[in-house]
Amino acid sequence: MDIERERGISVTSAAVEFDLGRHHLTLLDTPGHKDFSEDTYRTLFAVDGVVMVIDAAKGIESQTRKLFEVCKLRRLPVLTFINKLDLPSRDPFDLLDEIERVLGIHAVPMNWPIGSGDRFRGVYDLQQGLVHLYDRKDRAHPAPVNVGSADDPKLKELIGEAAWKHLVDESSLVTGAGTVFDHAAYLDFRHTPVFFGSALSNFGLEPFLHALTELAPPPGGRDSDHGVIPPETPHFSGFVFKIQANMNKRHRDRIAFLRVCSGVFEKDMVITNAREGQEIRAARPYRFFGGKRETIDRAFPGDVVGLVNPGQFAIGDTLFADSPVKYPPIPRFPAEHFGVARLKDVRFKQFDEAIRQLEEEGLMQVLFPTIGRREPILGTVGPLQLEVLAVRLKDEYNVDADVDSLSYTSARWLAGPDEKIGAMLSGAGTRLVNDRHGRPVMLFESEWALDYAQRTNPDVRFLAFHED
């Protein structure tokens, strides 16, 4: 997207496949910081392991905590890369302590930084006794040097006496604490191996990627209505975890991203959508590398396949061949930011269709006022997504509209006796609206307003999401 190039950010998840040594990897890169969206959460339901990148100066940010809860729910193994050591950084012990204290997982350093900022000299490999030296002027950093241990005099000559003494003291504290990496504990979500480096300077990535290929798990079994489906099951199955509209502006196409779970997916095979029982021929399957895509003939468990979607697929759909199966639905996540979309001209048909297609992507929740003008209220997980919506309406659908922020912070679907719900009215800090299916929803400006509504309406249930 143009907004991504202009601001140097990611606003949608991207799927990339590549080979690294003898391994084939599928990387689902997700937005971070304030630009992340519900799409980020859903992607975590399609992966077998996670790479957590932490800014060495900022530490753990609020969005990291939220995403980590999904990792905890699925017990996804987490590899940690502490980034930007070539800039002023926090104390590494402080960062490790924060990981353990805030996220509740044991942090095991695999290497150790030698200084930070303008005094950053490299990292010392605690497992193999290697030192990787950092060259600020040259992205082609020197080959690692085998020094055996941190107190090797050879290391003193390489990095200088002050940096060497500091490394000896800190590494002895690490080893003295008895911190030992346990691969089984990593796979069981009890340990996270931690690496230090600088991604922009291409420093520390090689040992990290080596660890990723050696430690991260292969595609695993998936829970279904028929129990756990192992990847080696001969019959194809998978599920849709993402839909993206207008990936190719010239064709105005929509792509459904399919995670292959079992069997072999083949081009032109007939697959069944478990939700509707509809048979579909997979005529144009794609794989992706950045903004490029190419047609594929087959895909295997762990691969992500793009299918052209003329309204046949929805997020969470299970697709299978031969042997019926259904995977659990992908949960939704509560919106925390709301805005009203106001059309600037009279292109109502295009406006309504654009909102509907963007809603199909799971980009936002769409609600409508019960009185007054039927201007859609859009609910998103991240604040920047409201601005992204306005940009996409203009760029992709030629619809000129403003998306003005509202003060609400949460939405609750109302369930209970009709007469009790009918007696509820909009009031201070609240607003009564409907979803696209006419179901009542109440917006709240604060936790206090939500709590008050719950206390004064004991016969009504306030649901973060509607019950189908």
The SS3 assignment for 224 reads: strand
CATH number attached to the domain at 337-463: 3.30.70.3280
pLDDT confidence of 291, banded at 50, 70, 90? low
Matching fold, domains 222-320 and 337-463: no
pLDDT of residue 17: 83
Residues 202-237: b if buried by 16+ CB within 10 A, e if exposed: ebbeebbbebbeebbeebeebebeeeebebebeebb
Domain 222-320 has CATH 2.40.30.10: yes
Q: Which of 298, 303, 300, 218 is nearest to 259 (CA)?
A: 303
Alpha-carbon distances of 144 from 88, 131, 139, 164, rounded to whole Å: 24, 5, 14, 16
Checking if the pLDDT of 273 tops 90, the result is yes
More confident site: 169 or 422 = 169
Q: What percent of the chain has pLDDT over 70?
A: 91
Mean pLDDT of 15-29: 85
The partner residues of 368 in beta bridges, in order of sequence, read 434
* pTM score, whole prediction: 0.84
What's the whole-number mean pLDDT along residues 227-244? 95
On whether the CB atoms of residues 130 and 146 are closer than 8 A, the answer is yes
Find tokens 């794609």 and name the residue.
Answer: 286
For position 252, what pLDDT does the model report? 63
Q: Is the pLDDT of residue 1 over 60?
A: no
Sort residue 357 into left (φ over 0), alpha (ψ -120 to 50) or beta. Answer: alpha
* Structure confidence at residue 459 (pLDDT): 94
DSSP 226: T
Q: What pLDDT is recorded for position 298?
A: 94
* pLDDT band at residue 249 under the 50/70/90 scheme: low
| % of the chain with per-residue pLDDT over 90 | 56
218 — pLDDT class (breaks 50, 70, 90): very high
In this structure, the chain runs to a length of 468
pLDDT of res. 124: 92
Taking residues 231-246, what's their average pLDDT?
A: 92
- Helix, coil or strand: residue 432: strand
> In the structure, what pLDDT confidence band is assigned to residue 245 with cuts at 50, 70 and 90?
confident
* Helix (H) / strand (E) containing 229: strand 227-229
Q: Where are the domains of the chain?
A: 49-215, 222-320, 337-463
* Tens digits of residue pLDDT in 30-72: 665 555 667 778 888 999 999 999 999 999 988 788 889 889 9
Q: Quickly name the fold that domain 49-215 has.
A: Rossmann fold (3.40.50)
pLDDT tens figures, 315-365: 999 999 999 999 999 887 788 899 999 999 888 999 999 998 888 888 889
Per-residue pLDDT at 12? 55
454 or 363, which is more confident: 454
Residue 41's pLDDT is: 81
> Tell me, what's the pLDDT at 311?
80
Count of other CB atoms within 10 angstroms of residue 439: 16
Task: Determine the Cα–Cα distance for residues 273 and 280; give it in Å rounded to an integer.
Answer: 8
Cβ partners under 8 Å of residue 307, min gap 6:
255, 256, 258, 282, 284, 285, 286, 313
**Mean confidence (pLDDT) of the chain:** 88
**DSSP strand pairing (237-245 vs 227-229):** unpaired
* The predicted structure's pLDDT at residue 230: 97
In sequence order, the 6+-apart residues with CB closer than 8 A to the CB of 33 are 9, 61, 63
Element spanning 167, H or E: helix 161-176
